[in-house]
């Protein structure tokens, strides 16, 4: 266990559904991240939060909407997704954003039908 | 300039052999170079990391070699074991942004 948990572990949704991914870290970190991992591609950084403030939005489509209510929790709200959005979504946390080890959760395997 | 290029894409090594994975970068502002290991069904986990003030770092059977002038770094796994079979990612970041840029990953299979 890395101290970062994600729920659900697997999610199948239709293109018209609305769902949310949840991440929780128990490490006392103050930075949290969302990554997308697709087959044969590098991990893609989607969003960065530092002290609950979004500091990076890496040109992610608006159908992905992050929320960070406090430094321990991070959500990714999903709506009207496309089949190409099917991927493993990873959450990570670190102590600050600069040059520190990021601890990853196990990910949510998302399938969009 | 933000890319990190990783090779090979896949690697098969016999038990006891040496596994070598290479990465190259362009951005000279990068000053933190970690390697992550990912098993199926798990998220990536930090394996070993290096900063450019040293040319080599060793932790057990895992060694990072760093060549600042060539802008390359590599992971060597000595005495490779079947339990090392996983996907390995190199990454790089700069202190300015802290943003990790990942390589494409190498799938390592160690045959018994």
| DSSP per residue, A16-35 | T-EEEEEEEE-S--SEEEEE
B106 inside 8 A of chain A by CB: no
> A45–B89: do the CB atoms touch at under 8 Å?
no
> A101–B4: do the CB atoms touch at under 8 Å?
no
Residue B95: band (very low, low, confident or very high) from pLDDT cuts 50, 70, 90 = confident
pLDDT of the residue at A91: 97
pLDDT per residue over A54-65, tens digit each? 877 778 999 999
- Give the separation between CA A35 and CA A45, rounded to whole angstroms: 5
pLDDT per residue over B56-84, tens digit each? 999 999 999 999 999 999 999 999 999 99
CA-based nearest residue in chain A for residue B39: A106
Sign for the pseudo-dihedral over CA of A41, B21, A101, A10: positive
- Torsion (CA) B78, B22, B7, B48 in degrees, nearest 10: 70
B81 to chain A nearest CA, in Å? 22
- Give the separation between CA B1 and CA A18, rounded to whole angstroms: 36
What secondary structure letter does DSSP report for B69? T
More reliable by pLDDT, A101 or B71: B71
Sign for the pseudo-dihedral over CA of A11, A87, B86, A73: negative
Supply the mean pLDDT for chain B: 94
pLDDT of the residue at A41: 81
């Amino acid at each position: 266990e890395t101290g970062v948990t994600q729920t659900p572990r697997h999610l199948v949704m239709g293109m018209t559904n609305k769902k949310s991914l949840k991440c929780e870290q128990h490490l006392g970190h103050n930075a949290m991240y969302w990554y997308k991992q697709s087959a044969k591609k590098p991990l893609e950084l989607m969003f960065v939060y530092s002290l609950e403030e979004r500091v990076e939005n890496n040109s992610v489509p608006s159908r992905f909407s992050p929320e960070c209510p406090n430094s321990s929790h991070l959500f990714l709200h999903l709506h009207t997704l496309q089949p190409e959005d099917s991927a493993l979504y990873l959450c990570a946390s670190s102590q600050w954003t600069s040059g520190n080890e990021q601890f990853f959760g196990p990910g949510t395997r998302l399938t969009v039908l | 300039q933000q890319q990190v290029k990783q090779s090979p894409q896949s690697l098969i090594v016999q038990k006891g052999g040496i596994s070598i994975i290479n990465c190259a970068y362009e951005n000279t502002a990068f000053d933190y170079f970690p390697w992550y290991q990912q098993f199926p069904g798990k998220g990536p986990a930090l394996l070993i990391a290096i900063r450019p003030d040293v040319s080599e770092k060793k932790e057990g059977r895992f060694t990072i070699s760093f060549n600042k002038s060539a802008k390359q770094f590599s992971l060597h796994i000595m005495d490779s074991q079947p339990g090392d079979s996983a996907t390995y990612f190199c990454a790089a970041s700069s202190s300015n942004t802290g943003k990790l840029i990942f390589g494409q990953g190498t799938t390592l299979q160690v045959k018994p």
